[in-house]
Chain A
């Protein structure tokens, strides 16, 4: 079974503070993704990565940075957190099988920015 873990699971931050969300996968997948989930919007892609050292912008990258220092780890960084970034964040990993990409999701991080 695929294993994607996230830390922290819950985080309360102050406006203007720096927040780092971490994701680790033990599947040896090349691709990793960060999404946020908000009611009415479903899952929106923030950043993704094709492998160590690479990061790509998703649909809503503004206010977020990403870092992929290794195959296993993918971080999402909020340099100056704002209340609008209060959300549940999911990390996922995946790889192409038969030309399609199946994704395995972590448990999520609930972030509240006050």
Chain B
């Protein structure tokens, strides 16, 4: 099956700086790449996704980049705020399939 590797287990940035979280996947059939956020003591919720027919997607301060050749995708959080502090999970799924394969999570800390 698919294997998703999330490269940064922890990341610390200063408020206002950008944060970048990188993930790689193994299966070229993967075509949908969502990101989930988990705040301390809470459940996960969806934040942004990208599909394989594009290489960049932005939603407010969140940017996702996809490099299909390298089988790599990344989440960029610009102008970070303390409320961005959380664990972020990347995931991958194959088209017409229902199972998400998650990375191991990156704990982001935004320091004031």
Interface residues on B, range: 20 to 34
A105 touches B45 (CB 8 A): yes
Q: Tell me the A3-61 residues at the B interface (CB within 8 Å).
A: 31, 33, 35, 40-45, 48, 50, 58-59
Across-interface contacts of A107 in B (CB, < 8 A): 42-43
Interface 9-mer from B14-22, B70-78, B102-110: B102-110
- Is B86's beta carbon under 8 Å from chain A? no
A-B CB contacts (within 8 Å), total count: 59
Q: Give the interface SS of chain A, mostly helix, strand, loop or mixed.
A: strand
- Is B1's beta carbon under 8 Å from chain A? yes
Q: Tell me the B57-112 residues at the A interface (CB within 8 Å).
A: 89, 93, 95-105
B89 touches A94 (CB 8 A): no
Return 30 A-B CB contacts under 8 Å, by A number: A33-B99, A40-B9, A40-B104, A42-B89, A42-B103, A43-B44, A45-B99, A45-B100, A45-B101, A48-B98, A58-B99, A59-B1, A90-B43, A90-B44, A96-B96, A96-B98, A99-B96, A100-B31, A100-B49, A100-B51, A100-B93, A100-B95, A101-B32, A101-B93, A101-B97, A101-B100, A102-B34, A103-B100, A104-B45, A105-B36
